[in-house]
């Protein structure tokens, strides 16, 4: 299983994401890093396990209140072989093309940032073959143009099922929703995001046929330690 650690950036720091309540996120305190500085936290994660990818949610860019591109560049410079999946609120084709030109990682399109289906389709085309689509849910409500859920033909080869209410909650993955998305995805790689607690959750996701999982809290609190990560 492809395990991808997640860092959420806000105001130049890594914050602890909880249930999608972004207004109340606070700088992270973790035994993996001496500070909440993005590069320090990234170093701590890579020291824990040789991850091949890192998911970065630039919450300021998603909210249209600045960005954390300098931190993203610093992480890429320190770990050039690390593939960065950066959700920065890309909403249209122009933004997707600009990101591709920067060469910092594949285009990540969060459904919550798309104003309508036509714009999302254009961004998916501009994102290229390695684009990543995040299907974002808040509680039971889908965030974004609902037509993308019904028309899986537009999904790229990698799809994240993001359940925001379960992020940092310890509630476990939404297996029912993941199963439904996996059934629609066909041969596409589906990644679970939100609620992963421990090795038993990873095993359950593996049995479901999920290609990978985005993880955060379980890394910082030690429930996913180096031995569990190596086994997964």
Instruction: Note the pLDDT of residue 171.
Output: 75
pLDDT of residue 14: 97
Overall size of the chain counted in residues: 232
Res 228: pLDDT: 93
Residue 122, domain extent: 2-231
Residues 136, 113: Cα–Cα separation, whole Å:
9
What CATH number did the domain enclosing 105 receive?
A: 3.20.20.70
Cα gap 167→150, rounded to integer Å: 24
What is the residue-level pLDDT of the chain in tens, covering all 232 positions? 999 999 999 999 999 877 656 667 789 999 999 999 999 999 999 999 999 999 999 999 999 999 999 999 999 999 999 999 999 999 899 999 999 999 999 999 999 999 999 999 999 999 999 999 999 998 779 999 999 998 999 999 999 999 887 776 667 899 999 999 999 999 999 999 988 999 999 999 999 999 999 999 999 999 999 999 999 8
The pLDDT, as a whole number, for residue 175 is 93
Number of domains in the chain: 1
**Residue with token string 């049995």:** 207
What's the 3-state SS for the chain? CEEEEEEEEECCEEEECCCCCHHHCEECCCCCCCCCCHHHHHHHHHHHCCCCEEEEEEHHHHCCCCCCHHHHHHHHHHCCCCEEEEECCCCCHHHHHHHHHHCCCCEEEEHHHCCCHHHHHHHHHHHCCCCEEEEEEECCEEECCCHHHHCHHHCCCEEEEEEHHHCCCCCCCCHHHHHHHHHHHCCCEEEEECCCCCHHHHHHHHHHCCCEEEECHHHHCCCCCHHHHHHC
């Amino acid at each position: 299983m492809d395990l991808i650690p997640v860092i959420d950036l806000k105001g130049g720091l890594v914050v602890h994401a909880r249930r999608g309540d972004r207004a109340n996120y606070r700088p992270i305190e973790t035994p993996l890093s001496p500070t909440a500085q993005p590069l320090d936290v990234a170093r701590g994660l890579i020291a824990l396990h040789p991850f091949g990818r890192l998911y970065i949610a630039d919450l300021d860019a998603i909210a249209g209140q600045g960005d954390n591109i300098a931190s993203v560049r610093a992480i890429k410079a320190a770990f050039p072989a690390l593939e960065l999946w950066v959700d920065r609120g890309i909403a249209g084709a122009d933004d997707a093309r600009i990101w591709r030109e920067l060469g910092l990682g594949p285009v990540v399109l969060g459904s919550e940032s798309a104003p309508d289906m036509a714009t999302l389709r254009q961004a998916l085309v501009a994102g290229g073959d390695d684009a990543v689509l995040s299907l974002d849910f808040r509680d039971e409500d889908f965030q974004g143009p609902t037509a993308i859920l019904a028309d899986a033909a537009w999904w790229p080869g990698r799809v994240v099922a993001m359940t925001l209410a379960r992020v940092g909650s310890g509630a476990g993955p939404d297996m029912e929703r993941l199963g439904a998305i996996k059934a629609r995805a066909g041969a596409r790689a589906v990644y679970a995001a939100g609620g992963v607690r421990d090795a038993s959750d990873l095993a359950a996701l593996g049995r479901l046929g999920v290609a990978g999982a985005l993880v955060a809290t379980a890394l910082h609190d030690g429930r996913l330690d180096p031995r569990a990560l190596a086994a997964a």
